Amino acid sequence: MAYPRFISLKWKLLLPLTLAMAAGTVTLTWVNDTNLRYSLEQTRRDDALRNQALLRFLIQQNERQLLDAGSALADFLVIGNSDALGLESASFLQPYWDQLSLNQGFQSLRLYDAKQQLIIGFGSAAASNERIRVKLGKVLAREHPDSVLHCAQTCQFVGMVPVLHRGITIGAVVVSMDLSGLLGAFKQSSGRDLAVAIDDAAATRLLTATSPALKEQFNTINFTPYPQLARIESALSHHDNKTYEWQKLWPLPAAPNTPLFVARKDVTADERAIKRVFLSNLITGLGVFVLAELMLLLALIWFMRRMNRVSSCLPLLGQGNWQQVRQHLRIPDKAPRDEISVLKDAALALAGQLETLDTATRDQQNDLGKLVDTLSHERDFISGLLDTAQALILTQDQRGVIRMANHYCESLTGLTENQLIGQDYFELMVAQQERQEWRARLLTHFTRDPAPLRFEAPLVTASGLRNITWVHSLIGQASGNDPLILSVGLDLTELKSAQARASYLSDYDTLTGLYNRQGFQRRLTQILLGAQGGALLLIDLDDFKAINDLAGHSAGDSVIQHMAERLRGLKPEPRLAARLGGDEFALFFDPMPDASLLQTARLLCKGEQNQHIATACIGITTLTANGTGADTETLLGQADLALSQARSKGRSNWHLYNPKDGIRENLLDRTEQLALITDALHNNRLELYLQPIIDVKSGQPAHYEALLRVHTADGRTLPPAPLIAAAEASGLIREIDLWVLQHVIELIACWPELHLAANLSARSLDNPELPTLLRSLLQEHQVDPQQLTLEITETAALNHLAHAEALLSGIKALGCKLALDDFGVGFSTFQYLKHLPVDFVKIDGSFIRTLDQSEDDLLFVKALVEAIHGYGKQAVAEYVENEAIFKRVAALGIDFAQGYHFGRPQPVQTLQGTGANPDRIGAGRSTAHCYKEGRPL
């Protein structure tokens, strides 16, 4: 392979850097020269402005001098003469003229009368043209002096002063002088030669100058306007090895015969200084450039030597000479560390890593040999596993051609492996009616989804039809890039048979072949979805237990089977027939006439005379035409109630369910409920549970509400509401109220820091002795009344308002706190709230539990809270069940909150045992004496 021409890295770096530095040197020199010339140009511009201003000043000074002299002469003429000027004025002006011409360089003096007629003149003839005559006329008319710089063949300052006598212009004095004084003053002030010129139609004509050479050089100069300067032009010229700067100036406004001025200055020294600075900068830049090049070259040579030392070790890495590389590179550098040092360290690290990798590679080669042996053993194991597995395992390509099959495939199909390989999987393993469908699905599935594909397909074998469940998945690549499909088939024939048997047993009774309870209920539910009518019969055999006991279970089974046969033979045939369990059967008929239904019931009640008499009681319920009550549980419940009524009539009876009978309501009557609550009261099976009431601002329990729980003899806890209702109806509630008050006060005595709330029933509001009894209990147990809050419901308070107001006032006088419960359910609450001396008002939970969903409830509760606070009472929210409700409660300004969000009611010992808020329930104080058999005394 031909490599490109080798060029050292130091030259690749040096050449671009050299070009860059050379360009930088030239650029810097040019920039310095440009800046210097720009500075000089600015200086010349400022000088031109100063020169033009100086000329303007000198012109004004000469004009003032002329006018002052003319004014003095006019004054002398008025003093020495009469009302008119004449030749006699000559003798008067002669001495003054002599003085002006000798001392001040005046060229002429003329005296004119009021009609511009010359009276007398001295000196050379004054300039005379139309412009001066017009000026003189204006001076005589305006009676105001004026001057003009007039140039024709020469330039003169002309001053005109009116002669006034007794307020009347009688003539004018006209004086003139040349520009020699101005030229001299300008050269003295600016150091420049000055010439005066005038623009003719053809060219600029020079009139006078301070230097004869200036006149010779002027016509060879090409002036250009100064940038940004109006009426100033400049030029440079070279004469006799000298450089001159020319400035063409117009200090006066443009007018006919107005002169311009040309100033010249020798700037040879300035130009030579600029050239010297340019050469100095250029030589200095070249010197720095050469020195930098030498230093850069030396640095590159030194760096390249160090880099070559590192690069020379790289071939050794490929040869595996790790030790030689380390010896060569570990020679310490005398210079500070840099990138080459990092490269050297990297080469050393690479040598170490390559050595480690080389060692690891040798170890891996050894391990690979061991792995090959292990894989060989695993291959043999997998091969044996495939051949012994009781599943069809084969591989096929994407055309469905079998590539491999295990022994189970051979045994199930009756073909050898060689016969299976090359066969079409679908022709061999899938029934003909499903073959095309599954071929299309399997061969296109993996182009869309790599997930395994499952399906069931029947397989026809020599032993019969088998149910096979197949799982297909991609396992890799075959020859050519053709993915293989692994197909695993499980023979589920026996499992399907067992499942069918289990399904039958789950829905059917094995003794009779009828539906069992589960199957009957499921099938009845399906029928009721579209039923427009029908009847359900529950059948209970009379004295079946006696048959079992007297004749044995086989006789009982015979009676059951005979009853099942009777049910199957009924006309009309029932839609459903079931044995629900034991001696209980169920029938469901499609809509039929009532007479036929009752005839069937009578027939079944009568029984048949054979070895044993089997009569029955039957409960009947029907569906109405519009489907009222048409659900399984309701129908079974109604039929069961009707069956109970039939049994109550005696053997061989039936009863048709009628909702107006009130059967269900009478099953658990008030007598039973009263017996339960009375038994619990007398046998110490009442218990107090505590639920925290939270201070909304602090989030800590402020006090607890004591709630009553009723236990049965077998340990069940009964719902207290129906039991309390029975107790209220019977008057037993007063004893229960007394029990609650006594145990709450005893509990406070055990935990002196505990604040409890207890509920009073409406019956207690009619007890005038309640305040006396309460005082006795508080004094007996030495309890602070402030720790006890008594709650009454809003309804009870309003229904007994006259008694309640007096009774509550008596309780309030003891020092106890009062709370009005269920507030908001009565429309007259606001009217009577101010009459009740309560401290807390508990807002009914029906408004609180939907506070996070109902804006109407939110507005209503807000109004309640404002009313409560308006009467100086504190508000308590019940049924706070989540954080969203609590946030709204806090936002409404409610003082306290109660509900499952903070804690469910708990037994007293559980609350104390868990250490719930020990700071408020007397942590550390022994409470063992407050309990007896796990409940408060």
Q: Which CATH number fits domain 527-667: 1.10.3720.10, 3.30.43.10, 3.10.20.30, 3.30.70.270?
A: 3.30.70.270
Predicted pLDDT of residue 819: 93
Positive/negative CA dihedral, 329, 331, 333, 337: positive
Predicted pLDDT of residue 516: 92
| For residue 64, pLDDT beyond 80 | yes
Residue 878 near residue 857 (C-beta atoms within 8 A): no
Confidence band, pLDDT 50/70/90 cuts, at residue 865: very high
Confidence band, pLDDT 50/70/90 cuts, at residue 65: confident
| For residue 930, pLDDT beyond 60 | no
| For residue 743, pLDDT beyond 80 | yes
Number of residues that this document lists for the chain: 937
Say yes or no: do domains 42-282 and 527-667 share a fold: no
| For residue 891, pLDDT beyond 90 | yes
CA distance 292 to 272: 30
When pLDDT is averaged across residues 783-810 and rounded to a whole number, the result is 83
CA 568 to chain centre: 71
Return the domain boundaries, the chain.
42-282, 321-380, 389-497, 527-667, 670-936
DSSP assignment letter at 928: G
When pLDDT is averaged across residues 495-510 and rounded to a whole number, the result is 80
Q: What is the pLDDT of residues 248-273, one digit of tens each?
A: 888 777 776 778 888 888 888 888 88
Predicted pLDDT of residue 691: 94
Confidence band, pLDDT 50/70/90 cuts, at residue 922: very low
Alpha-carbon separation of residue 903 from 58, 325, 586 (angstroms) = 110, 76, 47
Predicted pLDDT of residue 929: 43
| For residue 185, pLDDT beyond 80 | yes
DSSP assignment letter at 534: E
Confidence band, pLDDT 50/70/90 cuts, at residue 839: very high
Return mean pLDDT, the chain.
80
| For residue 500, pLDDT beyond 90 | no
Confidence band, pLDDT 50/70/90 cuts, at residue 888: very high
| For residue 593, pLDDT beyond 80 | yes
When pLDDT is averaged across residues 670-684 and rounded to a whole number, the result is 83
Q: Which two tokens stand for residue 409?
A: 């495939």
Q: Which of 56-70, 184-198, 412-426, 734-748 holds the top average pLDDT?
A: 734-748
Topology (CATH) of 670-936 = TIM Barrel (3.20.20)
Burial 372-386 (b: 16+ CB within 10 A, else e): eeeeeeeeeeeeeeb
Confidence band, pLDDT 50/70/90 cuts, at residue 690: very high
Residue 708 near residue 758 (C-beta atoms within 8 A): no
Confidence band, pLDDT 50/70/90 cuts, at residue 23: confident
| For residue 874, pLDDT beyond 90 | yes
Q: What is the pLDDT of residues 422-471, one digit of tens each?
A: 888 887 777 777 777 777 777 777 777 778 888 777 777 766 777 888 88
Radius of gyration of the CA atoms of the chain, in A: 66
| For residue 392, pLDDT beyond 70 | yes
When pLDDT is averaged across residues 859-871 and rounded to a whole number, the result is 89
Torsion of CA 93, 94, 95, 100, to 10 degrees: 80
Provide DSSP, 683-745.
Answer: TT-EEEEEEEEEETTT-SEEEEEEEEEEE-TTS-EE-HHHHHHHHHHHTTHHHHHHHHHHHHH
Q: What is the pLDDT of residues 355-385, one digit of tens each?
A: 777 778 878 888 888 888 887 777 777 777 7
DSSP assignment letter at 628: T
Confidence band, pLDDT 50/70/90 cuts, at residue 914: very low
CA distance 889 to 877: 7
CA distance 532 to 591: 8
Q: Which two tokens stand for residue 509?
A: 């009774």
Q: Which CATH number fits domain 389-497: 3.30.450.20, 3.20.20.70, 3.40.50.2000, 3.40.190.10?
A: 3.30.450.20
Kind plus residue range of the DSSP H or E element containing 119: strand 118-123
Superfamily of domain 42-282, CATH level 4:
PAS domain (3.30.450.20)
Q: Which of 235-244, 498-507, 622-631 holds the top average pLDDT?
A: 235-244
Predicted pLDDT of residue 935: 36
Sheet order of strands, 584-589 included: 576-581, 584-589, 534-541, 616-623, 654-656
Question: Coil, strand or helix: which one is 791?
Answer: strand
Predicted pLDDT of residue 823: 84
CA angle 99, 102, 108 (to 5 degrees): 80
When pLDDT is averaged across residues 223-240 and rounded to a whole number, the result is 73
Predicted pLDDT of residue 692: 95
